[in-house]
Amino acid sequence: MCDLIARTGRLQQRYENGCRLIAGCIPFRYRNSEETGDSNSGKVVEVLMISSSSGPGLLFPKGGWENDETVREAAAREAVEEAGVRGILMDLLGEYEFKSKSHQDEFCPEGVCKAAMYALYVKEELESWPEQETRSRTWLTITEALEKCRHAWMKCALEDGFCKWHQDKGHQLLL
């Protein structure tokens, strides 16, 4: 049984110019290449993706940014609620706009969302988490994640956001 409870509802959601504001992250870790079957020596970066509660394909944890938290707090909260992970929230990878069919409401009739996505260096995987009954989590290489990612904007966040950030700054974690 999980002691944490996921936030639900839209009363505290943030909106800006007709856009619903979203916070999320790309959780990552390093594995020894021997563990992944890679013949190269050293470390391989893996990202954590979660199943969607509304269809096929995998996602990164994300959700509404609420009035009583910072965008960074919202991203970290979503990682715990949806993926059951905690860690060090790193840099902003970028902001990504997308249209959501399931999140159209009076404040956002077009369903336009703007997601601030961060890198999250995972330090802890929880045994139980709020959405474990509706979501499964899977560690993937970047190549695997790009193939299984459900949304084009998340692929962009992974490829143009995370991969560029990791090449510039993230690899310093290995030092």
What are the tens digits of pLDDT across the range 2-42?
A: 455 554 555 678 988 888 999 999 999 999 876 545 545 57
Query: Of all residues in the chain, what percent carry a pLDDT higher than 90?
Result: 66
Distances (CA, A) of 167 to 45, 94, 139, 170, 174: 11, 15, 20, 6, 12
In this structure, what are the phi and psi dihedrals at residue 77, rounded to the nearest 5 degrees?
-65, -45
Contact 148, 140 (CB under 8 A): yes
Instruction: Give pLDDT tens digits for 47-98.
Output: 999 998 777 889 999 999 999 999 999 999 999 999 999 999 999 999 999 9
- Can you list the domains of the chain with their CATH numbers? 16-33+41-171 (3.90.79.10)
Instruction: Give pLDDT tens digits for 114-139.
Output: 999 999 999 999 999 999 999 999 99
CA 5-134-123 angle, to 5 degrees, is: 65
Contact 125, 119 (CB under 8 A): no
In this structure, what are the phi and psi dihedrals at residue 108, rounded to the nearest 5 degrees?
-145, 65
Q: Which sign, positive or negative, has the C-alpha torsion 170, 47, 118, 67?
A: negative
**Among the listed residues 156, 157, 144, 127, the one whose alpha carbon sits nearest the alpha carbon of residue 45:** 144
The residue to which tokens 């619903």 are assigned = 20
As a dihedral over the C-alpha atoms of residue 72, residue 92, residue 121, residue 126, rounded to 10 degrees, the angle is 40
Contact 74, 65 (CB under 8 A): yes
**Among the listed residues 24, 10, 53, 3, the one whose alpha carbon sits nearest the alpha carbon of residue 118:** 24
d(CA 95, CA 117): 6
Model pTM score: 0.86
Q: What pLDDT band is residue 144 in, cutting at 50, 70 and 90?
A: very high
